[in-house]
């Protein structure tokens, strides 16, 4: 089977609840992160498509689960709503967390999770919650320390090693890498991990 081409990603559908998601078959990897962690930029960099996932200086524009299909027809990338933007009421936040939680718990085709963290502010309360969920469910998780270009090499490496030591001490299916959408750094590393979780190498 030919390798998945990430530049083949095309928008499939959006869902506000589990019942609206595509058929639960094939393989998909979900991207999660705080709303300012650079999730849309990372997806656009991975797929070589600057318009695939919306980016905005106003956090929280993505309020639906967005599905993107890949060239093999059975693999998908999933963009989960950014977590933690302030300008929504508590009830909306609770609804939001509930349906994301339902997706993560019930989606059988979910084979991996990408968790994006700003390298300058890693392991927030939300990040730790997602890591705990990955450990409890034994779901392979890859942390992207985004915006690595914002730090000099020494501090960036220190942040990477701190997060790596914290993750690897908890489970062997947790891993971490640095990533810069601006400088296109870490893309091949990310592609390799995704292929290990999607159809062509599952």
pTM of the model: 0.90
Residue 93 maps to a domain? yes
Give the C-alpha separation, 18 to 100, whole Å: 9
Residue 166 maps to a domain? yes
Give the C-alpha separation, 21 to 19, whole Å: 6
pLDDT in tens, the chain (202 residues): 467 899 999 999 999 888 999 999 999 999 999 888 999 999 999 999 998 987 545 444 457 889 999 988 899 999 998 876 545 566 666 766 777 888 998 999 999 999 999 999 999 988 998 999 999 999 999 999 999 999 999 999 999 999 999 999 999 999 999 999 999 999 999 999 999 999 644 4
Q: Residue 191 sits in a domain of what CATH number?
A: 3.40.50.300
Domain encompassing residue 162: 6-201
Residue 12 maps to a domain? yes
The pLDDT of residue 202 is 40
C-alpha to C-alpha distances, 166 to 29, 47, 152, nearest whole angstrom: 23, 30, 21
Q: How many domains does the chain have?
A: 1
Half-sphere exposure of 132 (CA within 13 A, CB side): 8
The pLDDT of residue 151 is 95
Residue 1 maps to a domain? no
Picking from 102, 97, 110, 14, the residue whose alpha carbon sits closest to that of residue 53 is: 14
Residue 190 maps to a domain? yes
């Amino acid at each position: 089977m030919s390798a998945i081409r990430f530049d083949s990603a095309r928008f499939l559908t959006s869902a506000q609840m589990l019942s609206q998601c595509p058929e639960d078959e094939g393989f998909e990897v979900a991207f999660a992160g705080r709303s300012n962690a650079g999730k849309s930029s990372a997806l656009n960099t991975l797929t070589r498509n600057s318009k695939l996932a919306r980016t905005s200086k106003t956090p929280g524009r993505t309020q639906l689960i967005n599905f993107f299909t890949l060239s093999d027809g059975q693999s998908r990338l999933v963009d989960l709503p950014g977590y933690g933007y302030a300008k929504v009421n508590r009830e909306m936040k609770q609804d939001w967390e509930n349906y994301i939680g339902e997706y993560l718990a019930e989606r059988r085709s979910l084979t991996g999770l990408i968790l994006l963290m700003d390298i300058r502010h890693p392991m927030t309360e939300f990040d730790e919650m997602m890591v705990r969920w990955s450990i409890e469910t034994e779901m392979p998780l890859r942390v992207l320390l985004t915006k690595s270009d914002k730090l000099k090499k020494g501090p960036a490496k220190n942040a990477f090693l701190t997060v790596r030591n914290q993750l690897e001490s908890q489970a062997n299916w947790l891993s971490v890498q640095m990533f810069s959408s601006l400088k296109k750094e870490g893309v091949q590393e990310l592609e390799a991990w995704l292929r290990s979780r999607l159809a062509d190498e599952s």
